[in-house]
Amino acid sequence: MWIAFVCSLFIAFGADYGLDFAGYSTQEKTTSSSVRLTD
Amino acid sequence: MLKVIYAVLISVLCASFAYANDSQPSQNDRASTGGAQTLDDILARQKGLEINDGFRRSNDGSQAIGAELFNQLGTLGGASDPELWRALRFGSANVSVSSNGPAASIIMQDSGMRWLEFRKGPLARTGGYALVFVLLFLALFYVARGKIRIDGEKTGRTVTRFKAVERFGHWLMAGSFVLLGVTGIITLFGRMAIIPLIGHEAFSPLALASKWVHNNVSWAFMIGLVMVFVMWVLENIPNRHDLTWIAKGGGIFKAGVHPPAKKFNAGQKLIFWSVIVLGASISVSGLSLLFPFEMPLFAASFAHLNDLGIPNMIGMSDLPVQLTPHQEMQLAQLWHTIVAFVLIAIILAHIYIGSVGMEGAFDAMGSGEVEEQWAREHHALWLDEIDAKKKQPAE
């Protein structure tokens, strides 16, 4: 039971690192963009 | 006498001036902002006071009441264009954006407030009450029925019920589910229920940690879900014994009643299929939330439902198939939360029966070895299969 629990944390850290590496940060990051309105 | 009259007149005049000075200040003077709201309006709104919004409704952007261009709080020289803002709000404006992205051109979203009010109102309330009701029901059931004991005499021998890999798959999913459930509830109820208790400063790190755990442990849940499905799907296909089991109430309600069952009884099969179907659904909506605006789910789903005629069958008009990216995310969040509440309620009952509710049940998933008499009473057909396999090599 505890092995599975520890594994789930390993998977969590691995997923976080992997997604970050691939450019998909799951934490918020600021982005800037400008919006222009045309009539 | 005249002096007295003059004195009275002067005091009355002074008093009236004084009264004028001490009276309520004149209605909020919005001339300086050209009819737009003033600092007093903002402060009043922050205090939760009601303000008269008439000044906005009548502010039609005419040159006459527009403020000077150099006035910070005024309209742009009276050039406020309600038609433009209406078009932006309802998605009919022609917008070009310098940053590409599905949601980049949406400045205002009309249904956003309805979603927010529903999320923090009926959704949170109904879900919260449902979970409380389930907990109360289980407590009452325990008081009324007590722990379901092993009726016969224990043999002292054990049978292997679940192998190590089966237990690993179950606990990977179950442990993840508990973490996901707790962090999900913190995320939903945080602002309403936790911040008033512990304050913003304490809640902030809790919320950040909850978000990290929820987003990343979800992968472990999905892996566990796949493992559980692959390992147990064949043994969870319904058979005729399930009908007998259900007819006898599974022996849950009355002591001494033990309908036969194979490896999984009908109750366990209900749990299995609920977890698989709802778990898959919550995983898909969760992935949609994890990768915002990249996995719209609802426009296509609504189109399929409309084609099948299901909304009309229940007296509703066709579901909308043109959804803004924000609506898609909001619907994903609502669906994810609703399914989560249902799953948590089901799993609370599962945890109950697997722990305090039944003697000998936890051993199955704890050590994997169960008392033979327990197996005889609750999974007699499965025990017969095990015994038959043991005898075969001997023959």
The interface predicted TM-score (ipTM) is: 0.74
Please check whether residue B137 touches A, CB under 8 A: no
CA–CA gap between residue B343 and residue B276 (Å, rounded): 10
Please check whether residue B93 touches A, CB under 8 A: yes
The listed CATH number (2.60.40, 1.20.950, 2.60.120, 1.10.1900) that belongs to domain B112-162+233-394: 1.20.950
Name the residue among B251, B269, B238, B253 with its Cα closest to residue B374: B251
CA–CA gap between residue B191 and residue A27 (Å, rounded): 19
Name the residue among B70, B244, B256 with its Cα closest to residue B152: B256
B216 contacts on A by Cβ (under 8 Å): 11-13, 15-16, 26
The domain locations on chain B are 30-90, 112-162+233-394
Indicate whether B23 pLDDT > 50: no
Q: B240-254 pLDDT, tens per residue? A: 999 989 988 888 888
Q: B262-312 pLDDT, tens per residue? A: 999 999 999 999 999 999 999 999 999 998 888 889 999 999 999 999 999
A7 contacts on B by Cβ (under 8 Å): 168, 172, 220
Indicate whether B170 pLDDT > 60: yes
Least confident of B73-77, B94-98, B207-211, B259-263: B73-77
CA–CA gap between residue A3 and residue A8 (Å, rounded): 9
State the pTM of this model: 0.77
B125: confidence class by pLDDT, cuts 50, 70, 90: very high
User: From the candidates A6, A11, A17, which should be mutated to test the interface with B, based on the most B CB atoms within 10 A?
Assistant: A11
Residue in chain A closest to B365 (alpha carbons) equals A1
- Residue B176's contacts (CB-CB under 8 Å, 6 or more residues apart) are A8, B217, B218, B220, B221, B224
Gyration radius of chain A over CA positions: 18
pLDDT at residue B329 in the model: 93
B26: confidence class by pLDDT, cuts 50, 70, 90: very low
pLDDT at residue B284 in the model: 96
User: Could A16 and B220 be called an inter-chain contact, meaning their C-beta atoms sit closer than 8 Å?
Assistant: no
Indicate whether B124 pLDDT > 90: yes
Q: B95-122 pLDDT, tens per residue? A: 888 776 778 888 888 788 899 999 999 9
With H, G, I as helix, E, B as strand and everything else as coil, classify residue B371: strand
